[in-house]
Amino acid sequence: MTRGAARWRVAAFVVLLVGVWLAVAGGGLSSDRVRDAIDPLGAAAVPAFVLLSALLTCALFPGPLLAGASGLLFGTALGTPVAIASATLGATLAFCIARYFAHDAVQTLTPERARPLQDWIERRGFWAVLYARIAPGVPYSLVNYAAGLTRVGLPAFAAATAIGVAPRAFAYTALGGSLDNLASSEAIIAYVALAIMALTGVVLLRAERARGRVEGAPTAG
């Protein structure tokens, strides 16, 4: 692939993502509408929700709202594994989309001096994705696509995602199932889980930075 073609491929990929996001954001879609669409399906509600939620994840729809809808539909006990499966499937689909459409183009445009950094990310792929899932403030959907542009392996990405999203999936699902009583013990546990996740993310990121300094992690500059 020539550099010119690679630039066009990356630009088209970005335009596509922005277009899909605008279409979903401007369509008045909400977690309540997702719930209303799934609720009448009976026994098919769980697989239908997983599929719809995964597709919406690819469209950059907020994950906490989807997990909350899972809690409203199925309760915390069933809603939590449903939310984890939905988030992991959606992340994997987004990763594969990015890997198929723009990975080679990004590799073509990556300067030679950044190759050691890419090699390091590939070796630390599982941990890099896990930290991104745990760290507060890191956009979930953007990590899905960004990881697909790197050389992180799909199995490592999927495993780190499933592990990393589990605590927050539980918390948001529990909150979604407790909207009528946000002072319930279930809701309080959810608040505590979110706080612990935030603190854990900060601690792990600092530890990883310290490890990188000790090991002499490469930089793109």
* Whether the Cβ atoms of residue 29 and residue 22 lie closer than 8 Å to each other: no
Cα 57 from Cα 61, distance rounded (Å):
5
Report pLDDT for 203: 67
Cα 58 from Cα 87, distance rounded (Å):
10
- Does residue 107 or residue 209 have the better pLDDT? 107
For residue 98, pLDDT beyond 70: yes
Cα 88 from Cα 169, distance rounded (Å):
11
Is pTM beyond 0.85? Reply is no
Q: Is 148 exposed, middle or buried (0-12, 13-18, 19+ CB in 10 A)?
A: buried
